[in-house]
Amino acid sequence: MINNEPVPAAEEPILECLLTIRTDLFSLKQNRQKYLNSRTIYEIYYKVLIKVHHLFEVRTDNSNSKLHSNRVDSVLDDVMQLISLSFITCGLKNTAPATFAHLSTVQRLLEHLEESRIYTVHDLSPIKERLDEIEEIVKKNAYKHVHSEDTNKDDNATEFEDISEIEKENDATEDLLLKNKLDECIMEYHRIESKIESIDPRLTRHIENLYSLRRQLLSVSISFKNNGNKLFIHDTIKESMASNSAQKDNSVVDEDDDDEDDEIKTFIKSCSSRLKEIEESEIVSSGLVQTVSGFPVFSGLLDECHDLVNDLVHQKVYLDDANSYYENPFLQQIYQKLIDTKTSLENLVVTRRWTLRETDLFFYQKELKDIEKLRVGPTFKNPENPQEDAFEKEKKSPSILLYLLRRCYAIIYKLLESSEPISESMQRIHNQLSTVRRCLLEIKRMGGVDDERELYPYQLKLASIDNMRVDGKFYDEDGNIPEGQGSLNVLLSECFDIVQELKIEAYERDDLYTSDSDDEVDNLPINQSNSEESTNNKSRRRDSVPFTKDSTNRDVSELERPNEEKEIEELRKQFQKLKHEKQKKMMDLSYDDSEDLDYDDNGSEFSYGSSIPVSLTPSNKL
């Protein structure tokens, strides 16, 4: 609604001051070279509260001005939106001023839900939870709660008495301003909640089918702008079409068919048949549906699905190369703005951790607000020709425009809810810690590490972040302590704990493997155990044992790996045979083993009969 009421003379100084503050906030928002400082935002916020207090006093004296809104109210709403988003950007998400932007978005969502008349308890429950959270934040910052412990002061005035009085006035103004906004949202919620009826079990299945069909129709209707001006059907929708058509006939969508026109026509035919099936059901065809609970929701969904199917039938985008969805240029301009806004917001959902500055959402809120001003109920009015209905000669319904509006508000609400209580100056460190934490949790989920050295990159990164702290605190470039210290310290400690757990698991896994290997050796026969133990010991000392000189003049290239393995196996068999004979001789008491045991000074090896070296290194290896 456009504020055409004139501004009273008593409110003009307040308007000028608010316009100056809005300009200052715009300059802070657009300055990407410097982070927002919470101290600066608080100073601006206190100035605004003083002006709002003066505005309340002026309008209290003039009772007629309270009934009408003028430009002062619209500028004040812009200023409060910018300040609220600035608080969120600074990491003060859970403070009272930051709730103003949340309340504005929630109020828009509730208005659109009430207008659509298509909602259930499941749609309202998340909004109710968020309103309860905001109400708790506002109560903690309420004027009575903050100043409940004030005691009677001395009669002697101090230099701080005036300051405390100003602070009390600001707190009272903030309490009144936020409570009014919160009360409006709560009243809107209760009004919508009172209209909800319990759904009759006989209509539950039909309403669920209509919800699913409505989502598919909306998805296809707005898909062509992101698909080269051609309608696009997602694979999940094709599977749903195939499962529905398989129950009736064999008209299944051919996934290999390159003819997109036939694919769209098949989709329209499938949607029409599903709607016809619902209308021909027993409870609908008999007329009993009008007497059961939940009929308004069922009727609204059915009408909207018919409108969307009719829009697809008249849409010629997939038959020619026209870029316009609506024939009316005024409606096409609105449609194009909403498509661009929705696409930009969806991109922010993906890249918000690196590119989103919450104050940037004000631009999108302002665009949506300007589009809302053109609405008159479910339709739109052209300001150049306000007497004419823009949809009077249009073949398509306004359902797509209303859906795009609601979708944009829903994405803004999601972005506000997903914001972290971290200052933007600390956001880079928070993103790095979050990435390290996700990687460590993924390593733990996959079974841990085999060697402690695999954790070195993560330990180095955590150590570099830990070295940024001074006395346990992170500082920004200006030497200030930004908000979000607790979250960063908790996240850093959690990463260190995960690294320590992975190291302990690696140690335990290595000890278990070593003990299992020793148990396997103990369970072997004596001869085999001794031979394998000797083999293992010699293999560990292979680097320190000199190679036996080859008496031939063969080149290294002539030695092939299969021959080496074969020779090693033959040497091992000869060694086992000689060892077995040695053990048999030792059983004879008259046997003297001094003649068989020789020591080779040149080779530094013990050998039996000076013929077979104990080392398993092949004699022909250089």
- For 243-268, the pLDDT digits (tens) are 555 544 444 444 444 455 667 778 88
Condensed to tens digits (0 to 9), the pLDDT of residues 311-367 reads 777 664 444 445 577 778 888 888 889 988 988 998 888 888 788 888 999 999 999
From 357, 358, 402, select the one nearest 378 (Cα to Cα).
Answer: 402
Mean pLDDT of 258-286: 78
Residue 540 above 80 pLDDT?
no
Residue 542 above 80 pLDDT?
no
- Confidence at residue 167, expressed as pLDDT on a 0 to 100 scale: 76
Mean pLDDT of 27-37: 88
CB 36 within 8 A of CB 89: yes
Condensed to tens digits (0 to 9), the pLDDT of residues 388-420 reads 777 777 767 777 888 889 889 989 999 998 888
- Confidence at residue 223, expressed as pLDDT on a 0 to 100 scale: 64
For the ranges 169-178, 221-230, 370-379, 455-464, the maximum mean pLDDT occurs at 455-464
Condensed to tens digits (0 to 9), the pLDDT of residues 505-534 reads 888 887 777 765 655 555 555 555 555 555
Residue matched to tokens 């940024």: 468
Return the biggest CA–CA distance within the chain: 131
Residue 87 above 50 pLDDT?
yes
On the CB side of 192, CA atoms within 13 Å amount to 29
Confidence of residue 26 (pLDDT cuts 50, 70, 90): very high
Residue 281 above 90 pLDDT?
no
Confidence of residue 240 (pLDDT cuts 50, 70, 90): low
What percentage of the chain has pLDDT greater than the value 70? 71
- Confidence at residue 239, expressed as pLDDT on a 0 to 100 scale: 55
Residue 600 above 50 pLDDT?
no
Q: What is the radius of gyration, based on Cα positions, of the chain? A: 39
Bridge partner list, 381: 389
Condensed to tens digits (0 to 9), the pLDDT of residues 147-165 reads 544 444 444 544 444 557 7
Binning the chain into helix, strand and coil, the percentages to the nearest 5 are: 65, 5, 30
Phi, psi (degrees; rounded to nearest 5) at 600 = -100, 110
Residue 42 above 80 pLDDT?
yes
DSSP for 379-436 reads EEEETTEEEEETTSS-SS-THHHHHHHHHHHHHHHHHHHT--S--GGGHHHHHHHHHH
Confidence of residue 303 (pLDDT cuts 50, 70, 90): confident
- Confidence at residue 284, expressed as pLDDT on a 0 to 100 scale: 81
Q: Residue ranges of the domains in the chain?
A: 9-148+161-198+349-394+405-424, 201-314, 425-522, 547-613
- Confidence at residue 458, expressed as pLDDT on a 0 to 100 scale: 93
Query: For residues 604 and 111, which has the higher predicted lDDT (pLDDT)?
Result: 111
Picking from 289-293, 404-408, 587-591, which range would have the lowest pLDDT averaged per residue?
587-591
Confidence of residue 1 (pLDDT cuts 50, 70, 90): very low
- Confidence at residue 275, expressed as pLDDT on a 0 to 100 scale: 87
> What average pLDDT does the chain have?
76
pTM > 0.85:
no
DSSP, collapsed to helix, strand or coil, labels residue 562 as helix
- Confidence at residue 182, expressed as pLDDT on a 0 to 100 scale: 92
Confidence of residue 441 (pLDDT cuts 50, 70, 90): very high
- Confidence at residue 538, expressed as pLDDT on a 0 to 100 scale: 44
- Confidence at residue 400, expressed as pLDDT on a 0 to 100 scale: 81
Confidence of residue 597 (pLDDT cuts 50, 70, 90): very low
Distance linking the first and last C-alpha atoms of the chain:
94
Condensed to tens digits (0 to 9), the pLDDT of residues 166-221 reads 777 777 888 888 888 999 999 999 988 887 767 777 888 888 888 888 888 877 77
Residue 377 above 60 pLDDT?
yes
Picking from 93-107, 143-157, 367-381, 484-498, which range would have the lowest pLDDT averaged per residue?
143-157
